[in-house]
Amino acid sequence: EFMHQEKFDESLEAYPLNPEAWIAKGLKVYKSDFNNQLKCFEEALKVDASHVKAVIHIAELFMQNNQYKESIEFHKRAIDLSPNSYVSYLTIAEIYNIQGDFKTSIEWCKKLMEVNPNISGMQFHKGGNTIRDLLGLNYARIWEDNNG
């Protein structure tokens, strides 16, 4: 692992203004080190504040760490930078689902399908669920809450 770090450090020394190099270092060198990954992704944003990939990596890092408020904040920033960033719509919908806010989850699913109408059958994350499944599950939960 130390050897990898040396190579990334050399690359960053030669190309300090390359946000992709910072992202790569965060992903490869600090695979399970939240703080150092976050620092690398933040460095990528210092180089290029509109680098959508860096913003999404930060958002996903917060998601993995169950820091949902922060994850939503960065995913919304990614959407502002790139309105077709379907991963951000989906993750926001998923977070609201996890938190039990099914109506808001449905709203984000609908926003996603407005951006990409062909996405309803796409699987997300590792669960194998689709957008259609998430919508159906949320509608069922709302109905259950209202009908007892």
Residue 3: its pLDDT value, please?
Answer: 45
The answer to pTM > 0.85 is no
pLDDT > 90? residue 49: yes
- Cα–Cα distance, 94 to 101 (Å, whole number): 10
Query: How far is the CA of 54 from the CAs of 38, 44, 45, 133, 135, in angstroms?
Result: 10, 6, 6, 29, 29
Residue 81: its pLDDT value, please?
Answer: 97
pLDDT > 70? residue 80: yes
DSSP letter at 130 equals B
Contact predicate 39/74, CB 8 Å: no
Percent of the chain with pLDDT over 70: 74
Give the confidence band of 25 by pLDDT, cuts at 50, 70, 90: confident
Give the containing element (helix H, strand E) for 15. none
3-state secondary structure of 144: helix
| Residue scoring higher pLDDT (62 or 109) | 62
